Structure 1
């Protein structure tokens, strides 16, 4: 398989909560500019975020300074159809990776984001009814039309990744997966191994465990929190979140963490974690605290 030609920024701006930040369009623009000033050029979206509102809110901000589009890479996802109070006649949450839905979703995302193309499109979740040939046909049409430059997946197993890749002429460029000390499945199930094998940059979502690392009182969370605090003191980290980002990025596949915050100081702190270097014993101390046992 040929190697991907797309380069991700070391960190990625996540906008799945932008609808809850109560920002004016000008404040949203300032947030985007802050990311860009820090070298965070990849912006992660999905059609369903904010009940189909988050892309709209981002697009409204971008219209205030359209020239910023040339400085960023827009990423979006599709394939999930939640049953939002009967929205669009839906009565059950389901997946739709049909060619028609993929193309319609991209058309909507382009309109809402006020752009003529997506840099990357991901299939949001693996669909048990996924027809790889149909997805490939959708990808080919969107690429030929200049509406999507690159393609990837999200939350796919290695076999699902290989199935879809087998139908494509161009390489999938990422697998966006959950990686945190609370969720380490991708470290052990072959997903990150596959990314490293093909020199694919994985995108890491929910690195901070949805906040549970900071607040949960489970034995696991307490072990992790105590270990992170000790290591933060050892390496001079501003807070334990910086240690978590450094831990995620230390994996040889070099995951790109998605920062899901609208707080400028927290975003800056996350990006500055790139200056923190853990040693192997510190990395495995966090692994041990998460697993509850030593390595075999």
Structure 2
């Protein structure tokens, strides 16, 4: 079982930097809702959006376009700033093509906007999206995912491809622990880290699974929380995937046998949330907006 690493989630007052998916060094609408049967990704130009509410998908589109100010005035009439920041947090957690590290809500008169803090400059973000999408397509083809006859088999081929292709990024883990090397740490949290660079920590594994699942026509989400079995602290990230109407747990990170056999494990594949192996694990409430959490069996 590999070591764990998920960066701390910081909650800051409204109108300041909002919930962030990482704790990193400071470097100076389509209508759709989640149902119990899952969600269908909607393409924003060539990149999908995954949000469980109209506001989340709207924010995703703005972040994919690298907008400096994303207009949310119509939602702000009925929501407080924390709810808007929660939607931004879901967008940043669930979309593997978005590279942000925080948000703030700004209101002037009747106009309210979300101001993202992007990890990369616009051109670099665009390049990473292209590279990630191309790597997803290569992975799907390499694993022969689309020839699978069931959703469970598709999920298995994606899981095994990620575990076999990627190596857990122990250098990034050290950097996270010591607050070092921003670029290495940022990459370790991305699907790009797994699918392009071939290495990341748990968040990268989870985002890679979501990206490949979407390409294969599966519904999947990244879940954040804690697991007391983690050797470097409790924070962790994993996936849920919808199989025959049930959201089941997949954890490619913990099925990657560091220093062990080359073959991927299946210990943490398609587990029911009540499985004894998950007794030490607790999902938090940061990865989806409050009204949607129950739709994923949370």
Structure-2-length-normalised TM-score: 0.30
The structure that has the greater radius of gyration is 1
> Greater strand percent: which structure?
2
Structure-1-length-normalised TM-score: 0.30
> Greater helix percent: which structure?
1
